Amino acid sequence: MSDVNGSVPAAATPVRRSRDVPMLVDRARAGDHRAVARLITLVESGDETLPAIAAALAPYAGQAQVVGLTGSPGVGKSTTTNELVRALRARGRRVGVLAIDPSSPFTGGAILGDRVRMQDHATDPGVYIRSMSSRGHLGGLSAATPQAVRVLEGAGCDVVLVETVGVGQAEVEVASLADTTLVLLAPGMGDAIQAVKAGILEIADVFVVNKADRDGADATVRDIQGMIALGERGPGEWRPQVVRAVAVRGEGVDDIAAAIDKHRGWLVEHDELRRRREARAAAEIEAIALGVLRARIGSLRDGTQLPALAAEVAAGATDPYAAANTLLTQLTR
Amino acid sequence: MSDVNGSVPAAATPVRRSRDVPMLVDRARAGDHRAVARLITLVESGDETLPAIAAALAPYAGQAQVVGLTGSPGVGKSTTTNELVRALRARGRRVGVLAIDPSSPFTGGAILGDRVRMQDHATDPGVYIRSMSSRGHLGGLSAATPQAVRVLEGAGCDVVLVETVGVGQAEVEVASLADTTLVLLAPGMGDAIQAVKAGILEIADVFVVNKADRDGADATVRDIQGMIALGERGPGEWRPQVVRAVAVRGEGVDDIAAAIDKHRGWLVEHDELRRRREARAAAEIEAIALGVLRARIGSLRDGTQLPALAAEVAAGATDPYAAANTLLTQLTR
C-alpha cells in the first residue's frame, strides 16, 4: 500500500473504536489528508468500524463523479491518470485517485515506480492518491473499493478516478463501480480485437487511444469507430466517444476531461446516473448481506447448532437440506 | 455425462415431482440401475426434487466407505480404478464409481476412451459407474458430488470410489469428501516433489506408486517414505501407507484393497470415521444454507425491498451496512 500524501500504515492506526469515527470523518471533511488515509486503511482492513464509517459517510453519497480507468499493461494508464488529474485540477475540481493493483498485496515494483510520478501532486491539497491491493478477494476489485470511494466522496472530491489493470474481471468490475468508464488502448497492441472479445465495448463510455503519435494509431481509431458503428443502440442512448491522446506529452488530456464531462451531462439528462448508482448500491448491499451471513454461519460452527446438526446428518437421522433449513432459522435470531 | 450401465439423459427423465421420489429410491434400493442413474441425473441438475431425494436417502447415510482416488494425468487412475473394482468385487463388495471430469461438461475424448474399459463391469449388477462433470462449479468438485455419493450409498454400495484428476482444488476437495484418500503417483514424473508442494502429503492416506515396473520406481517409493518419515504425527495417528502396483497387469491391486481396509479399521478404532463424516456433513449443510440464502437475495432483487434500499443508499439516506441489516431481517421471514 502506498500513499503519496499522508500515508499511515494500518499498524500505527490508533482508531479502532466506532466512537472515534465521527471525529475522523469530520477531520477528513475538513481536508485532513491523514484522516482520509486512515479511513481508507480502516475500510481496507475490513475493520469492525466499517459500519460506523459507512453510516458517517452516508450523507455525502453521490457527490463525486466516479470515473473508472482501465486498459492492458503498457497502454499508459498511470501517465494518463497523472495528466488527467492535472487537467481536472485546472478546472478547479478536487480529485481522488484509487489505483488498484490486482496482483500484489503490496504496492511495489513497477506500480510504485509509476506512482512516483504522482508526486507531481503530492503537495496539492486538492488531490488524494491511494494505491489499494485487490489480492485475496474474488474477482479483481477489493470489496473495500466502494467504501474507499465513499471516503473520498466524503472528503469532498468532485471526481474519483479508479484505475485498474484491464485483466480478468477487474475491468468489468470497475465499470460496475463507475459512473463513467474510460478504456485505454494503444496502437499496435491488437487491443481493438481483444476489446470485442473481452466485452469491453459494452463497458466503455469513452475510448482513449493513447500513444496516438505512433504508427497504427489511425487504424486503431478506425477499428474502434467501426465497432461502435456496428453496435446497436436506441435513440438517446450513449454512443461511446473516441479520444486520441499522447498522455506523456499532455496532448489530448483536455479532450478526455471534456468527454468525461459530456458523459456526465448525458447521465444526468437521461436519469441514467440515478439508475447506475442504485444498481451499484443494490450490488453492494447484497455483497455485505452475504458476507454477514457467511460470518454468522462461521460463528455457528463454533457454537452448538451446526455440530449437532452435522452429527444428525452423519448418523442418518436427518438430511443436509433439512439441516440447512434448521440452521437458517437459527441464523435469523 | 456417460453411464456405462443404464444411462438415462436428463431430458428423458419424467420424474420431476418430489412425490415420485420415494418410489424411485425404492427402485434404486432394489438394485434398479436405471433408477440409480435417474437419481444421479436429478441431483446433478440441481433439480427441485433435491431436498426430497436427500430426505429419502438420509436413513442409508454412512453405509458405504467413500474412497477418493486422485493423481496427475497419466498416472493410471482409470486403470487402477477398474482393477480395484475387480478386487473389491472379488471380496464380495458392491461398488459405486463416480468419475469426476474437471474440464468438460460432457464426458468425451480420453475420458470416454478410459471409461470403455469399465465395460468389463457393465454386466455386473454389483457395480455402478457414473461420470460427472464439475464444470461451472467453484473449485474442482461439483456441489452435486456429495449427493451422488448418497445415491450410491442408498443403492447399497459398500464402497464408493470417487476418481478425480489431481489438478487444482479437486484433490483437496476429494479428500474432504472421502473416508480414505488414495494418491496415485508414477515413477519419473517428479510427482514426489510436486506432492510436497501441493500439500498432497496432508491428504493422502495411501500412496500408490503405479507403473512400479518402470525405472525410478524404487526412488519414488524411497522419496515418499522419506517424506512420510519427516511428517510429525502423534501416537495412534495414521501413518500413510505406500503400495506398489502395476495396475495394467492387475499387480498390487489386492494390496491397495488391503490398505483401504486397514485404513477403514483405523478410522473406526480411533473414532475418526465419525469425526470426518460429521465435519463433512457440517460443510455440506453450510454450503446448502449459503446457496439458499443467495437464492433468497436473488428473489428479493426482483421484489420491492432491495431496489428501495438501494435507492435510499444512492440518495444518501442510509448506508449500505444499515441497508444490508434491513435486508437480512427481510430474508428471515
The confidence score (pLDDT) of residue A301 equals 67
SS3 A159: strand
Residue B290, chain A, CB below 8 Å: the answer is: yes
Structure-block grid coordinates of residue B253: 491391486
* pLDDT over 70 (residue B12): no
| Whole-number pLDDT of residue B11 | 42
How far are the Cα atoms of A205, B29, B33, B34 from residue B57, in angstroms, in the given order? 54, 10, 16, 17
Contact B183, B207 (CB under 8 A): yes
Select the more confidently predicted residue: B70 or A108. B70
Residue A16 has pLDDT above 90, yes or no: no
Of A280, A314, A319, nearest to B278 by CB-CB distance is A314
Element containing residue A262 per DSSP (H, E): helix A253-269
Q: CA-CA distance, A214 to A188, in Å (whole number)?
A: 9
Q: Residue B181's pLDDT is what?
A: 93
* Best B177, B277, B286 residue to mutate vs chain A (most A CBs within 10 Å): B286
**Which overall architecture, per CATH, does domain A62-270 show?**
3-Layer(aba) Sandwich (3.40)
The reported pLDDT for the residue numbered A167 is 52
Distance CA(B11)–CA(B20), nearest Å, equals: 17
Q: How far is A211 from chain B (nearest CA, A)?
A: 37
Q: Which of A256-260, B69-73, B113-117, B163-167 has the highest mean pLDDT?
A: A256-260
pLDDT in tens, B278-311: 988 988 888 888 777 777 777 766 766 888 999 9
Looking at every residue in chain B, the average pLDDT score rounds to 80
Q: Is B323 on the interface with A (CB under 8 A)?
A: yes
Residue A4 pLDDT class (50, 70, 90 cuts): very low
Q: What is the pLDDT of residues B30-42, one digit of tens each?
A: 989 999 999 998 8
**Cα angle value B205/B206/B212 (rounded, 5°):** 160
Mean pLDDT computed over B222-245: 88
Letter for the amino acid at A85? V
- % chain B with pLDDT above 90: 39
Query: So what's the pLDDT on residue A226?
Result: 87
| Alpha-helix residue ranges (DSSP H) falling in B45-76 | 50-57
- ipTM of this model? 0.76
Q: Is the pLDDT of residue B169 over 70?
A: no
DSSP state of B238: P
Residue A55 contacts B, CB cutoff 8 Å: yes
Q: Do A173 and A132 meet the contact criterion of CB atoms below 8 Å apart? A: no
Asked whether A184 and A259 are in contact (CB, 8 A), the reply is: no
- DSSP 8-state assignment for residue A104: -
Instruction: Inform me whether the C-beta atom of residue B293 falls under 8 Å from chain A C-beta atoms.
Output: yes
Give the pLDDT score at B300. 67
Q: What percent of chain A has pLDDT over 70?
A: 77
Q: Is the pLDDT of residue B330 over 90?
A: no
Range A123-140 average pLDDT: 67
What residue segments make up the domains of chain B, in order of their start? 61-269, 281-331
pLDDT band at A162 (very low <50, low <70, confident <90, very high): very high
- Asked if pLDDT for residue B43 goes beyond 50, the answer is yes
Share of chain A above pLDDT 90, in %: 39
Q: What distances in angstroms separate CA A96 from CA A152, A268, B134, one per listed residue?
A: 6, 21, 43
Asked if A110 and A79 count as a contact pair (C-beta separation under 8 A), the reply is: no
Say yes or no to pLDDT of A296 above 90: no
Q: Could you tell me how many CB contacts below 8 A there are between chain A and chain B?
A: 172
Q: Which residue has the higher pLDDT, B234 or A142?
A: B234
pLDDT at B157 over 60: yes
H or E element, residue A133: strand A127-133
Give the three-class secondary structure for B182.
strand
Q: Residue A53's CB: how many other CB atoms inside 10 A?
A: 27
Nearest Cα neighbor of A206 from A265, A271, A263 is A263
Question: May I ask the CATH architecture of the domain B61-269?
Answer: 3-Layer(aba) Sandwich (3.40)
Main-chain dihedrals φ then ψ at residue B2, nearest 5 degrees: -120, 155
Residue ranges of E strands in chain B: 65-71, 95-101, 127-133, 159-165, 180-185, 206-209, 241-244
